[in-house]
């Protein structure tokens, strides 16, 4: 068990696994968006924000994006965010 408040380094490999399961349908393989209105992470769109702000948005949901609160843990979402930050080409 982890000490409360322990700060873990994000796991990009785990983030990729979660992305491919929960996000790829809309945000596309490698962040090449599959929807006209979803940001292209491959172009770094919407990623010029701190992790904690992205975390809050992903938990809350936005427009057609569902809320992931209760579906993914904060650490899992932070892993996905770390993966998103590797996609820009």
User: Footprint of ligand HEC on this chain (CB under 6 A)?
Assistant: 22-23, 25-27, 35, 37-39, 46, 54, 57-58, 62-66, 68, 80
Shortest CB 34 distance to ligand HEC, Å: 9
Question: Smaller CB distance to ligand HEC: residue 4 or 36?
Answer: 36
Helix (H, G, I), strand (E, B) or coil at 65: strand
Rounded to the nearest 5 degrees, what angle is found at the Cα of 43, between the Cα atoms of 39 and 44?
Answer: 75
Question: Smaller CB distance to ligand HEC: residue 7 or 77?
Answer: 77
d(CA 15, CA 67) in angstroms, rounded, equals: 17
Tell me which residue has tokens 């996000």. 23
């Amino acid at each position: 068990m982890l000490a409360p408040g322990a700060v873990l380094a994000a796991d990009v490999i785990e983030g990729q696994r979660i992305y491919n399961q929960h996000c790829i349908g809309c945000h596309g393989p490698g962040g090449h968006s599959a929807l006209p209105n979803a940001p292209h992470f491959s172009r770094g769109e919407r990623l010029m924000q701190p992790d904690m702000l992205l975390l809050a948005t992903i938990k809350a949901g936005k427009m057609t994006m569902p809320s992931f609160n209760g579906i993914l843990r904060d650490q899992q979402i932070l892993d996905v965010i770390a993966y998103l930050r590797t996609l820009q080409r």
